[in-house]
Chains A and B, each alone.
Chain A
Amino acid sequence: MAEKPSMTFSLLGSAAPVLAPRRMPTRARTVIERSDNAAVYKTPAAPHESPLKKFSCIPNDMPVILGPRRFPAIVCPPPNTSTSIALSTSIGFHQLPAKQYVNAVHKLRPDIAIGMADMVLGSPPGNKRREKMVDRTHAFTRDALEQLYGDALTRNAKSKTAFFAPVLPLDNAQQSLYLEDLESEFRWDISGLALYEAASLEHIPASLGDLPRLLLSDPSTPHHILREISLGADLLTTPVLGASSDAGIALDFKFPAPVAQDDDKKPQPLGYDMWSVENATAVSSLAEGCVCFACRKHHRAYFHHLLAAKEMTAWALLQIHNYHVFDLFFAGIRESIQNGTFEQDIEAFARFYAPEMPESSGQGPRLRGYQLPAPAAHAPRRAPKVYGRLEEVMVSSSAVTPDTDASGLEEHGFAQKA
């Protein structure tokens, strides 16, 4: 297992980490979206190998976490049932039966599996629904543990995967029966807890205190991440990393924060917007002193150009840089905790850096339908129409639309006014 605290990454559809650094636990969902018959189950693998890693071409020494759905989850209209949860997949809405999911854990042998939870997405659940959430999640966990590690199984047939039991984002009182079972009956079969909000960290029963906690939340800034770790999160999902890359933002922060020279100094930004025109001719690296691949090879002007030209390389290179920043951030956190200076360091970090992420002035990469919630009926189209503009306006190109007028083109040396 990776050092704690650490971050986990959701690789949609379990794409291979070509450009991304190693040490990336992945969560696979779409690989089993079709059925019990999916190709992933037929991957040739030796008994000690995980067919999931083999299928996704993930190195053996990289821990893999399997979850029933992607994170952040995409809201989908069909409701969960008492035996399955509803998913939005690349081939449409789909019910994933609990039994099928546990089967997948058994056969695919990830290092860690996140237990299935009956989550209500989109709107807060009412009282009745909350009771149902607890009952169903309780049953999902009970059945999963029975299926994976039950007494009916021989020693060899028991799953080697570590099971992280879900803790619902509800008050303890509401899920007390479930938590009690986690503390007693289920205790020896669970290897960790999967939580959905930072608040849950505060009231984990003491007898479950030694279990690693995977927090499936969406902290919006590094400050929030620090707070969650301070509350006791060990493994964290950090969608803000990918969201920053998509927004064209190159992150730039360290932990512990550098010592401020002057107390009145303005807080430093957490990153820089590469869309901003001030980067158009900047030949400096994304972040001063950064030694990541992107910074060693390229300067800001190139990032600005790639974003403006909507080239995929822009987002690939930004991911490389932002992962590097996060890697160092988490290494710094672990060291700070070991040194016993974590709380002071958090305060210094809050003083040194701006409280919010910088705003992006551009657009992200193209999104595919299954990466977005299903549109409501008669909703306006998501993206402006690109084709056929010539017919309407008589002027414009479907290939490249420069953001400049004729004088701009002339200034560019591209052509002159006739």
Chain B
Amino acid sequence: MSTTAEPARKAMPSALTFDRHAKCSTTKARASTLHLPHGSVPLPIFMPVATQASLKGLTYDQLRDTGCMLCLNNTYHLGLKPGQAVLDSVGGAHKLQGWDRNLLTDSGGFQMVSLLKLATVTEEGVRFLSPHDGSPMLLTPEHSISLQNSIGSDIIMQLDDVIATTSPDHARIKEAMERSVRWLDRCIEEHKYPEKQNLFCIIQGGLDLELRKQCCEEMVARDTPGIAIGGLSGGEAKEEFCKVFVSLLLWIAFNELTGHRVDTCTGLLPENKPRYVMGVGYPEDIVVAVALGADMFDCVWPTRTARFGDAIVSSGTINLRRKIFEEDFRPIEEGCTCTSCRPVDQGGLGLTRAYMHHITAKETVGAHLLTIHNVHFMLTMMGNIRQAIIEDRYPAYLRKFFSNIYEGDRSKYPEWAVGALRGVGVDLLADS
């Protein structure tokens, strides 16, 4: 594989503009605005996942009320239902679901590998057996882009060769990385609407920093409108993965990619493009990744955990099914301005923990109400992070954040977070 861009490459128009407003003077955190075809998105941002063109029981007005400007759909799921013919006929996913703000779709490759046990990856694409009748099928980068063109999402992702980050097979990791670069070229070639849909590349390379660097150089040379870092979350597997491990990796990857020295401008990731860390979405992971220079995140966790009765609050998560909340007549989170928590006299529902305890995991509406709260919480947190960066007090925000979660007990701070933040000039264990 050559290290320079090939001259015959198709030009990459961009359907976005990326305005950088502020950069933290200590960490690499940045505050910016991403202008997309369906509205402007303040960065850093968390993107809720509406897998099958619906956010788990919420109406799109309810999603809009949380302040969401950009949410995800999954190409794999929309390709199966409703399918490309319907998407073409209806006029794309925005029209299908009645959402006039921005959409991002993944390539479908991740679900191929994580959901279909019998998928194998070849140079041509992902080979799998049809889930319905077992016939052998092939999903190529061209199929993925063609589907995403039909979906019409504002940001589309390249098909990449996804393997488990923990794979011990170095040769396979290298192959996957190199193949992802070749597939990126095929995706660029196939992409029909670069002037209205932004194709993001996905940097792969497992845990190997050298491979990650190589991949980064190759992909940055292709000049896609945005850059994603893949393979940092196991998605479904994430919960099984040791959190420490995944997040440590995140730290290493970013430090390497952006250059070790804080004041360097020779980082491999260009400053003028949005950086998307795929599948990362725990609040702790997000605040650290923001400090390392990441702008965009997505994860099903906040919405999925809501369906199990877990509310995200500033002190972590609380499970409202627990008996201690049976007679707790406070709101889910004191001071929260989401529709569920806001008092009735301020136009909210004024729900209490006792009520949520009563209906959670018993009535579907309990899941909806908690989903509203959790999405709102994540987006408010991102807004607070952004404000802290703009006012150049992000290190103080980080200290407060970890102090809230661990009730001020520094001995409980996770090592990976302390280590990662030290790398960007914030010592959580030192007195500020």
Enumerate chain A interface residues (CB-CB to B < 8 A): 12-13, 15-16, 18-19, 30-31, 39-40, 42-44, 55-57, 59, 90, 280-281, 283, 293, 297-299, 301-302, 304-306, 308-309, 311-317, 365, 368, 390, 393-406, 408-418
Contact = CB atoms under 8 A, between A and B. Distances in A.
18 contacts: A13-B359, A18-B369, A30-B362, A42-B327, A55-B354, A283-B95, A297-B98, A301-B90, A306-B54, A312-B367, A312-B368, A394-B129, A394-B134, A395-B130, A395-B134, A399-B115, A416-B143, A417-B137
A412 B79 contact: yes
B71 to A, nearest CB: 13
B55 A313 contact: yes
Nearest to A12: B363
Nearest to A304: B82
A413 B129 CA distance: 16
Contacts of B369: 16, 18
Nearest to B364: A312
Interface stretch (B57-65, B188-196, B283-291, B385-393): B57-65
A316 B138 contact: no
Interface string B103-119: 00000000100011110
A18 B118 contact: no
Contact of A305 (B86, B115, B130): B86
A279 to B, nearest CB: 10
B411 interface: no
Given A281-B89, A308-B82, A414-B147, A298 B132 contact: no
B84 A413 contact: yes
A160 B362 CA distance: 31
B130 A406 contact: yes
Interface string B333-370: 00000000000100001111011011100111111110
Contacts of A416: 137-138, 140, 143
Contact of B143 (A315, A365, A402, A414): A414
Contacts of A414: 79-80, 83-84, 139, 143, 147
In this complex, the interface size class of chain B, counting residues with CB under 8 Å from chain A, is 35 or more
B272 interface: no
- Smallest CB-CB A-B distances: 9 pairs: A406-B135, A413-B84, A412-B83, A312-B57, A395-B134, A418-B138, A414-B79, A313-B54, A402-B80
A13 B366 CA distance: 11
B118 A395 contact: yes
B132 A293 contact: no
B54, B85, B125, B129 — which one has the most chain A CB atoms within 10 A of its CB? B54
A333 to B, nearest CB: 28
Given A19-B368, A42-B327, A413 B359 contact: no
Given A39-B327, A417-B138, A402 B362 contact: no
Interface in B380-404: none
Contact of B355 (A12, A56, A283, A316): A56
B260 interface: no
B329 A405 contact: no
A90 B132 CA distance: 36
A92 B69 CA distance: 44
B83 A311 contact: no
A59 to B, nearest CB: 7
B410 interface: no
Overall SS of chain B's interface = mixed
A416 B132 CA distance: 14
Contacts of B304: none
A44 B352 CA distance: 11
A297 B61 contact: yes
A319 B329 CA distance: 29
Given A316-B368, A394-B134, A400 B77 contact: yes
B408 interface: no
B168 interface: no
B101 interface: no
A411 B137 CA distance: 12
A311 B137 contact: no
A281 B57 CA distance: 22
B55 to A, nearest CB: 7
Nearest to B80: A402
A80 B111 CA distance: 53
B81 interface: yes
Given A280-B86, A312-B56, A395-B130, A413 B358 contact: no
Nearest to B116: A397
B365 A15 contact: yes
A13 B362 contact: yes
A411 B86 CA distance: 11
Given A55-B355, A316-B57, 13 more contacts: A39-B354, A302-B97, A311-B56, A312-B364, A316-B59, A365-B364, A395-B133, A400-B76, A400-B131, A405-B130, A412-B79, A412-B80, A417-B136
Given A309-B54, A414-B143, A16 B134 contact: no
Contacts of B80: 400, 402, 404, 409, 412, 414
Contacts of B135: 405-406, 417
Contacts of A12: 363
B186 interface: no
Contact of B58 (A313, A365, A399): A313
B162 interface: no
Contacts of A397: 115-116, 131
A361 to B, nearest CB: 16
B81 A402 contact: yes
Nearest to A370: B362
A39 B55 contact: no
A280 B87 CA distance: 10
A413 B327 contact: no
A405 B137 CA distance: 11
Contacts of A56: 355
A396 B359 CA distance: 34
Given A395-B129, A395-B133, A297 B59 contact: yes
A18 B77 contact: no
Contacts of A402: 80-81, 131-132
B146 interface: yes
A126 to B, nearest CB: 36
B132 A405 contact: yes
A317 B95 CA distance: 16
Given A305-B86, A399-B115, A15 B363 contact: yes
A399 to B, nearest CB: 5
